Structures are given as C-alpha cells and as structure tokens.
Structure 1
C-alpha cells in the first residue's frame, strides 16, 4: 500500500491556495467552452501575426494567448507565448517592468503547477508576493485585467470598464489605459440601444483618446464611425480619406473602416480598399475574412440583385470562402457563409452537404453556435429546399435555446408569422410558443 507524505500534501494544498489568490488569467473566470476558446485563440493568433502590433499591449496579447493555448492542451505553445509576453513587457515597460510582470508571473506559476513543477510554481508565487508587498493594488494589473476581459467576451465588457476606471484612477493621463477605456466603452452597449446622449459621451471619450494617441488606428476608426452616426459625415469622410492615403500595416478597426465606406461611399469602394490592403499583405487570413464580408455585403444588396454580372462576384466569393474554411477549419461562420455563397451560385447540393456535415458535428457546438446553426439551417430548408415542415422543426430548436440573440429572435418571428397566417402546423406552434412564453421568452414580440 502506498502512502502520500502529509507534509508534501499540505505544502501542495498551501500552494494551491496561494495560486488561487493571484490576479492572473487562471483566476479571472475565463473557463468557457472549448469552441469559444478555440475561436478566441484564432483571433489572437491573427492579431499577433500581423504587422504593426501595438507595443503597449503586446504583452497582454501574448499572456492571453498563452492562457488559451494551455486551456486547449498545448503547454509547449503556452510557454512559448509566455516567453514572448515577457520580452514584449520588458521592451515596452522599461521604467516599471517588474510590476508590469505581476500577471505574467502569476500565469507562469499556474502553468508550472499544472506541470507538476511545484518548486518553480512556488518561486513565482513568492516573486509576486514580494512585488505586491509595497504596491498592493498596482494599476498595471487592473489595466491588463480590463484589456483581457474586454477582448474575451461581450458579456465581460461592463466589468472591463470598471477595471479600466480603477486603473485610470491612479494614472489618469495614461494613454494606453485611456484608449482601452474608450474602446471598451464604445463596445459595451449594443448598437440598437445607443441613445444620442450616450453616443455623445462615446464620441468625447474617443476624442480624448485620439488626442493622447493620434496614431491609434482602432480609436480613429471608432471615432469616425461615431462622427458619422452623429451626422458629421463630411468630417468623417475627410478623416477616412486621410487614413487611407497611406498604406495600412495595422488592421485594428479595419472592419469599421470597410463598413463606413460601404455605408457612405459604395460597396465597390470597400471591396477596393480590402483588395488593395490584401495585396500588400497576401498571407493575412484576417484580411481575407474582411474581403469576404465585403463580397457578401454587395452580393446581397438590393441593387446588386439586378446586376447581370452578379455571378462573377458570387464565384469570387465562393472561391474565397473555400480558402477561408481551409484557413479556419473550426469556424462555423466561415462554413455558413460558404453554404450561403454556394446556394447563391446555384450549387444547392453543395450547401446541403455543408449543413449535413455540421448536423453530424453539432454535439461539440456551444449553445450560441448551435442556435445560429439551427436558424441558418431552417432558412436553408425553407428557401433552398422548399421543405417548410422541416424548416419549422429547426426554427423551434433555435427558439428553445434560451439565449437572447438575433438568430433566436429571427426564428421566433418566423414561427409567429406562420401562426398569424394560419399556416402549416400553426396550432402546434401556438402550443410551443405558449410554453416558451411561460418563461418570458416570447412576450416582447
């Protein structure tokens, strides 16, 4: 019979308690579903691989990427990212480097603990303790936590704002924190819920951030977006032209810029900008995604539906989305977009195959992805396959997932329209919706 050493067990328990008290990615409740972590990892890899990554937050990025790699089972990649994080932090924070490494050391302590390297883990725990002895609440820690929460998930953005504010209380002129707060503030409210007063407040925060860091591309893109929404379109157009006069080597906020050109110039202008930028960075899969969106916007625009040459653009989009599916093999969005483009090209069988494969693989999807898939499949069954009854089945599946999303709203509206028009299976749908309504899920419609 084997006996464990009580002293060793007590020491390990004590270490675990110390680890749980650290401020780092392993204690910030980032334990989401595997598919969510994979999606975020792909986004962070895209950002880290592009030129012009901002020095001010490169350490934050690699620390987050290290956590994601470890959570997904790749300790070797996690350690490589942690090494890059330390190099970036030492390069960007020479005056306050040790305090800037507090979160990083916490991550190292956890990774060594999970590897069974308890001595190394204890060393980093003690290092953090010494650093915090004289600086119990360093703003750099709250700043990195705020940045991480803001990047991680939309549900954490209001919490991120609180941490940005805590960090700014101790360093109100810090341009990195001020820009981070402005970006988080602009993303913290759904576009449909932004009032004129709130938009004015957002514009002011972005103006302050731009004054502190006029070269920050994402801030500039958000600023011109809010200018246009506030009716200052001419000023926004002038700013957009200034940005695009010089080649773009950083893609922060690039999607906002493309949307702006689509809305205020033309679809062709957004496509042209995406193509020109991609020509400068042909290996950027992130830019290929942006170009795919531009194609999609134009293909489904009312004016394009009358264009006799529309099939050429659709063919280009199909080819691009085929490449994107290969570049992002885990991306549900890329596969759904390819199915839509395939259907538009007349290849309904190919779109069917994409949905059938996803149907077989749905067990691994997180609820929001599953809801999106059910809604898209329901629409495909109705419009492309003319199978109204099976379409209803999948709209019901989407509605049953109790997440407040546009896809769920879409499915509920379709079901309600069938009831109002006394369509096929109307009585069954009434009973189904009554069940949902008891949970307060349908009354808003």
Structure 2
C-alpha cells in the first residue's frame, strides 16, 4: 500500500484511538479467552435482560476480534435497538459506546466512510456533554459500562474496573447499577490475599447494603451479601438472604450459582449440587457452575480417600471413590476447557486431583502449560509456582526444579499468602541442607536471597560471598552481589 492511499486510514485510526469503547479498553485477542467470552455473553443476553445492550456491545467486539465482522454489526444493531427502547429520553448519552464500536468495526471491514459517519455522530452527541475530547464524553454511563466490561474479562483488570465504578458514582451516587458494580469488584478483590481490599474485607458489604436500599428486590445483591455475612459469622442473616433470593428468582442462574456456593461452604453438599445442576440446565457452558460442582464432589472424595474401606476394590466405597475421581476430573476439565488463561484455579484443582489419583504425567502437563501464561495477576503466578514447586518436590523428587519454582514465586514482588509459603519452603530446605553440609553453595545462595528479600543487605552479601567461594563463577550470585553493593553505595 502506498503512502498516499494509507493516509486517510491513518488519520481515521488516530481519531478512533480517542474513542471510549471496547476497542480502546485494553484486553485484546492475546489476553482473553475468546470462546469462553462468547459463551458467557450469550448466556448473559439470554438470562440477564437488564444488561443485554452492554452484552451485545461486548459480543460485537469479541466477534470482530474473531474475524466475524458481519455478526459484530448485527450485535451492535441489537444493542442500539435495546437502548432506543430502554432509554427513550437519554438514548444519545447511552449510545456513545455502541457508536464507537460501530466506527471500529466498519474500520476493520475497510468501510472508512461509514466509520467516519459514526465519528460525526459521536462529535454531535458529545459536544454538549463535555469540554474534553471531540469524540467521547466521560459521563457515568461510559465509566459504568467500561467497569462492567473490564470486570468480565479477567483478574488483572479488576483494579481498573473499580476506578471506573468510582468515577461513575462520583457523578451519580444513587445509581443501583454502579453501586452493584463497585460491590462486585470489591468482593472479588477482597478474595486476593495481597490486595489492600483483603485487609478491609467489609467494604463490599457496605455497597451491597446500599444496592438493597436502592432496590430491595435485587436478588443478586442478596446472595453476594449472604456470602460476605457468612465470612463474618453472621450465619442467621446470611441464610435468610439466601432463602429470600431463591424465592424471588428461583430460576435465575446467577442467583443459583452463588446460593449453591453458599451451601457448599456450609457443607450442605446435596443442596448445592441440586442448585448447580439446575443452573447447568439453563447455562450448560458455565465454567463457574462446573467448577462449583467439581468442588462439591472433591469434598466427598477427600472424605472417602481417608476411609480405609475405599482402598479395597471389593468394597462399595472403592467404586464410589473411582466415580468421584471421574466426576471431579470431568467438571474441573469443563470449567477450564474454553478458558485456559483465566480458569487458573480450576486447572490447579484438576492437577491436584490427578496427583491424588496417581496420574502424575497429566498433572505435569497442566503445570507446564500454566507456567507459560503471561499477563496474569501476580498472586496467580505465585500460586502456580508454589503448587508446581510442591509437585516437583513431593511427586517428582526434584529438589532443583522445586527450589527454582519457589524462588520464582518469591521474586514476584507481591505480598500474598503464596509468596510467604514459597519463602517458608526455601528457608526450611536451605536450613536443612546447611545442617548437614555448611558448604552447600545452593543452600547458601538461597539464604542470601531470603536475607535480600528481608532487606538485610549485609547478611545477604555474607551468604552470597560464601556461596561464591564454593561456586566461583555462578552468575546469579555475582549479579545479586553487584546489585546489593550498588544499592548500599547509592544509599
């Protein structure tokens, strides 16, 4: 393509990059599980009437990434139709993202004039709404939809999603949808051990209660609040909320899945499985439902494994144990089939079941694939390193591999439970080695690393020097020593 013919396209692309829509919000083909997103968005369109337009918008983006541009245009037409029906007086405010997506899809189809026509529409809509960019307006509707979109991708986007809901709430504090978004993202961040939210784990409760003040019939807020109240030992109130939610919306899959999670955590496994299977009839591809069913079966399996009768092939417990192994593997497998980048926990649980069943080669394959993942939350990388390290230590009896993985987990600068576990594993191993042989260079190097992580530079230098006296040309120790000495000089 010559420079003259590429100029209009280049100029148009510069304008498109200014838009606020799915094509400028970060996640691209390499960082999301596209097949899984399609299943989830189609489920959302079928069952969550409230958010249909937003789901069609996001589905258009995913279809365009997959090369299905015509389908993407149809998705956007559906989104536009729903917005016109639901927001008669405020259609233009609510159409900014849809029109931005239209412009991008037409650009990808090579229809530059059509893309420009949507930019012209956006300029007319946004001019009275903002003093900022020509083609967009940072209003609550835009922040809110961006928040929900980022929340639906994967854990690395949760922090940004939280900021979006906060921006939306600044200008529209009584909006149920944005309060629910803030509550949802807070409850997810509270589950990660290294986050600030984990140390203040009642923030989501405040926002869930606010949602129920604004809309006392919001059954999703009820089940999420029940799960949080259970954490804080307020079980009576939690049970009431679960029962109330199931009475209000007995066939709503999102309520069924969280109610089932509540019953599983309470040990009421039969009730949990019953609700989860009901949910699967409505949304058969739900990774969440399959994962929860597998966890119910795993609880039963762990009880049986400890039963001495289950070891005898002649006893019924042995057959039951075999069935449970099969059911766990089936449902954990279904949970991550279409989402290898995002269902990390399901893959780790699958590997653990394989280990318990003596299938070490299958477990090794899972760990190998997980260790290749990029752009994941730091605590997810740490938990992969820790669990893979334990596998290498106990199943494969490989000291070098296991310690290498624990070191990798420790070096990820994020304060999580798994990082502490990696530290403890390394410390115990190194101390044990040095008790037997004070000249073990690898153990001395590990001690140096641990002191370096603790901020005790002089001790770290001492251990790395001892390690180098034995292993003279070790690049890792030389590099660490150089870094430590430089930091002392700078200080």
Change (3 A) 1:151 1:247: closer
Farther off after superposition, 120-129 or 311-320: 311-320
Shift of 1:38: 1.8
Farther off after superposition, 233-242 or 152-161: 152-161
Farther off after superposition, 135-144 or 398-407: 398-407
Matched with 1:257 is 259
Report the Cα distance in structure 2 between the residues aligned to 1:213 and 1:44, rounded to whole angstroms: 30
Report the Cα distance in structure 1 between the residues aligned to 2:184 and 2:400, rounded to whole angstroms: 45
Report the Cα distance in structure 1 between the residues aligned to 2:199 and 2:404, rounded to whole angstroms: 41
1:142 aligns with 2:137: no
Match of 1:315 among 323, 326, 333: 326
Report the Cα distance in structure 2 between the residues aligned to 1:282 and 1:16, rounded to whole angstroms: 40
Change (3 A) 1:255 1:418: farther
Report the Cα distance in structure 2 between the residues aligned to 1:26 and 1:18, rounded to whole angstroms: 13
Shift of 1:105: 0.8
> Normalising to structure 2: TM-score of the pair?
0.73
Matched with 1:391 is 402
Shift of 1:57: 2.2
Question: Counterparts of 1:43-442 in structure 2 under 5 Å?
Answer: 43=37, 45-49=39-43, 53-71=47-65, 75-76=69-70, 78-136=72-130, 137=137, 138-190=139-191, 199=202, 202-245=204-247, 248-252=250-254, 255-278=257-280, 282=284, 284-300=286-302, 305-307=305-307, 308=310, 309=317, 311=321, 312-324=323-335, 326=337, 328=339, 333-355=345-367, 358=369, 363=372, 365-366=374-375, 372-402=383-413, 405-422=416-433, 425-434=442-451
Shift of 1:102: 0.6
Residue segments in structure 1 that go unaligned for 5+ positions in a row: none
Question: What is the aligned-residue RMSD (CA, Å)?
Answer: 3.8
Shift of 1:245: 4.9
What do residues 77-127 of structure 1 show as CA deviations (whole Å, max 9, x unaligned)? 544443443344334333322221111111221222233322111111011
Match of 1:20 among 17, 24, 43: 17
What do residues 270-292 of structure 1 show as CA deviations (whole Å, max 9, x unaligned)? 33432344356555454223212
What do residues 274-331 of structure 1 show as CA deviations (whole Å, max 9, x unaligned)? 234435655545422321233334545xx55534447242232123334445555665
Report the Cα distance in structure 2 between the residues aligned to 1:403 and 1:165, rounded to whole angstroms: 24
What do residues 365-413 of structure 1 show as CA deviations (whole Å, max 9, x unaligned)? 4465665544332222222233334322332333344455554443233
Q: Which one has the largest radius of gyration? A: 2
Report the Cα distance in structure 2 between the residues aligned to 1:149 and 1:325, rounded to whole angstroms: 20
> Normalising to structure 1: TM-score of the pair?
0.80
Matched with 2:474 is none
Report the Cα distance in structure 1 between the residues aligned to 2:272 and 2:401, rounded to whole angstroms: 38
Shift of 1:177: 2.7
Shift of 1:237: 0.9
Change (3 A) 1:313 1:214: farther
Report the Cα distance in structure 2 between the residues aligned to 1:234 and 1:391, rounded to whole angstroms: 45
Farther off after superposition, 186-195 or 59-68: 186-195
What do residues 48-98 of structure 1 show as CA deviations (whole Å, max 9, x unaligned)? 325763333222233233334444655455444434433443343333222
Does the aligned pair in 1 maintain the 2:257–2:275 contact within 8 Å? no
Give secondary structure in 1 for the equivalent of 2:264. helix
Report the Cα distance in structure 1 between the residues aligned to 2:15 and 2:52, rounded to whole angstroms: 27
Does the aligned pair in 2 maintain the 1:217–1:252 contact within 8 Å? no
Does the aligned pair in 2 maintain the 1:105–1:128 contact within 8 Å? yes
Change (3 A) 1:367 1:60: closer
Does the aligned pair in 1 maintain the 2:80–2:95 contact within 8 Å? yes
Residue segments in structure 2 that go unaligned for 5+ positions in a row: 131-136, 311-316, 435-439, 461-491
Does the aligned pair in 2 maintain the 1:50–1:284 contact within 8 Å? no
